[in-house]
């Protein structure tokens, strides 16, 4: 059982068992309910909890012998020494009674002579795997082979295998562990040539497809960040020496984002598209290009596909909008573009004869856009206006969509409310 409604028919039986002193965990097993559900049900039924030892309504005091017997029986039931929390959750008595009566939970365990069940302190805690010295040393050797530098605390944390604390506790220090592993210490920076430094920057740039920043140098380069700064004056100078053009790399990233949006929208993205759906702010493109159109041209995209003029001279933001506008114009349907909704700052795509609002919802795959659809439909319903909603799959069936355009049945909400 998982709900209060399912346990309700068993109320009388459960209450009788609970008040008669049956252990909570036994009741849970008997009726196939969780302790949490049992707890919630008893509270709901107004049953005073047994909680601190026994039902308070009886005010019965249990002897030390009864408490110890209960602890022993509960241990046998679990097959191990119960923890304080296990006694609190599902034991015959509350754990705090043992603390109060015997001074501490451990004292109660000792008095119950359960030491033979206690875990030896030298044993590995349950759930943990004991790692031998040989395994730790082998791990260092693997890291050395991977990074080609003596493993540091940072390398260990990146790999999420064993922390440096393990090596310090086992060998006294990470340096001593490296020495046992036969790993030579990092050579002095003075012995490193500029060519070696530059080659390592190129390696990181090639392998990780990222511009080596201070953080990336710390994580992935063989040499320390200050080696580059001291040798070349700045990291920028080192990157220039390596032939890594930061500007060109970043320009490539923002252009790739334009192409990605183009593939999603099936048209060249506008600045508004980038603002709402892109990974960069439109202003970013003005840092690298003189205009939005130049950015589109640099990405190899059509610079006019997001700004289309329909047959009647209306400005449309997509080819799909132009198709709908041309359809209305060719049928002689009077219409205006982007009217405001009544009592709202939101706009529709078209208004037909000052009576019917028309919306083309072309980006339903975006969560933000779906919320916008819901909001517009709510406004239409609240203001009791006619609204025709057109989705991408409707573009091939506009005749049917606008059939009987003045009929009340044409108010369509597409289950967005």
Report pLDDT for 351.
Answer: 92
**Is 2's pLDDT higher than 70?**
no
pLDDT at 357: 92
> Distance between CA 12 and CA 139 in Å, rounded?
61
Q: What is the pLDDT of residue 129?
A: 56
Please tell me the distance from the alpha carbon of residue 71 to that of residue 79, in angstroms, as a whole number: 12
What is the dihedral angle through the alpha carbons of 99, 105, 106, 109, rounded to the nearest 10 degrees? 110
pLDDT at 406: 42
| Average pLDDT score over residue span 217-239 | 80
For 299-310, what is the mean pLDDT? 73
Q: What is the pLDDT of residue 118?
A: 47
Report which DSSP code applies to 340. B
Summarised one tens digit per residue, pLDDT across range 267-303 is: 888 877 787 788 888 888 878 887 777 888 888 887 6
Exposure letters 356-368 (e unless 16+ CB within 10 A, then b): bbbbbbbbeeeee
The reported pLDDT for the residue numbered 190 is 52
pLDDT for residue 308 is more than 80: no
Query: Angle 80-81-87 (CA atoms, 0-180°, nearest 5)?
Result: 115
| Tokens 């700052």, residue located | 345
**Model pLDDT for residues 350-376, shown as the tens digit of each residue:** 999 878 999 998 877 777 778 888 899
- In the predicted structure, residue 398 carries a pLDDT above the cut 60: yes
Residues of the chain above pLDDT 70, percent:
84
Q: In this predicted structure, what is the pLDDT of residue 127?
A: 43
| pLDDT, position 49 | 64
Query: pLDDT higher for 26 or 312?
Result: 312
Instruction: State the chain's mean pLDDT as an integer.
Output: 78
Judge whether residue 139 has pLDDT over 50: yes
Q: CA–CA separation, 7 vs 12, rounded Å?
A: 10
pLDDT in tens, 3-13: 777 888 888 88
pLDDT of res. 358:
92
Stretch (H or E) spanning 357: strand 356-360
**Mean of the pLDDT values across residues 380-388?**
89
pLDDT in tens, 196-220: 888 888 888 877 767 777 777 777 7
What is the structure's pLDDT at 407? 45
Overall average pLDDT of the 53-78 stretch: 70
Q: Give the mean model confidence (pLDDT) for residues 331-354.
A: 87
Place of tokens 């082998």: 138
Q: 50: pLDDT confidence band, cut at 50, 70 and 90?
A: low
Reference 201, options 152, 246, 157; nearest CA is 246
- 285 touches 295 (CB < 8 A): yes
Q: If pLDDT is split at 50, 70 and 90, which confidence band does 119 have?
A: very low
Look at 1 and 94; give whichever has higher pLDDT. 94
Average pLDDT score over residue span 138-142: 88
């Amino acid at each position: 059982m998982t709900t209060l409604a399912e346990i309700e028919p068993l109320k009388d039986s459960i209450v009788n068992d609970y008040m008669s002193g049956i252990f909570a965990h036994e009741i849970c097993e008997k009726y196939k309910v969780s302790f949490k559900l049992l707890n919630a049900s008893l509270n709901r039924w107004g049953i005073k909890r047994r909680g601190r030892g026994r039902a308070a309504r009886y005010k019965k005091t249990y002897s030390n012998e009864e408490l110890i017997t209960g602890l022993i029986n509960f241990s046998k039931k679990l097959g191990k020494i119960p923890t304080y929390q296990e006694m609190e959750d599902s034991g015959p008595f509350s754990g705090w009674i043992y603390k109060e009566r015997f001074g501490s939970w451990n004292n109660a365990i000792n008095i119950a002579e359960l030491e033979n069940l206690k875990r030896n302190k030298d044993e590995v805690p349950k759930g943990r795997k004991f790692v031998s010295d040989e395994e730790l040393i082998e791990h260092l050797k693997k890291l050395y082979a991977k990074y080609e530098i003596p493993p540091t605390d940072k390398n260990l944390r990146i790999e999420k295998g064993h922390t440096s604390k393990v090596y310090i506790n086992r060998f006294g220090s990470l340096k001593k562990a490296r020495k046992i592993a036969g790993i030579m210490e990092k050579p002095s920076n003075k012995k490193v040539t500029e060519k070696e430094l530059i080659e390592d920057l190129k390696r990181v740039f090639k392998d990780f497809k990222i511009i080596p920043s201070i953080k990336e140098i710390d994580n992935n380069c063989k040499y320390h960040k200050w080696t580059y700064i001291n040798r070349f004056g700045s990291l920028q100078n080192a990157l220039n020496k390596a032939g890594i053009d930061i500007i060109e790399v970043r320009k490539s990233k923002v252009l790739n984002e334009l192409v990605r949006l183009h593939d999603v929208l099936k048209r060249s993205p506008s600045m508004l598209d980038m603002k709402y759906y892109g990974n960069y702010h439109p202003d970013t493109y003005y840092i690298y290009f003189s205009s939005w159109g130049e950015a589109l041209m640099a990405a190899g995209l059509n610079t006019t596909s997001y700004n289309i003029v329909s047959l009647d001279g209306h400005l449309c933001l997509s080819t799909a909008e132009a198709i709908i506008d041309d359809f209305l114009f060719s049928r002689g349907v009077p219409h205006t573009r982007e009217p405001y909704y009544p009592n709202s700052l939101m706009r529709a795509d078209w208004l037909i004869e000052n009576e019917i609002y028309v919306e083309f919802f072309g980006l339903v795959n975006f969560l933000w856009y779906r919320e916008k659809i819901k909001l517009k439909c709510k406004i239409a319903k609240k203001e009791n206006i006619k609204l025709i909603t057109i989705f991408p799959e409707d573009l091939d069936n506009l005749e049917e969509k606008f059939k009987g355009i003045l009929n009340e049945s044409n108010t369509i909400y597409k289950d967005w409310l």
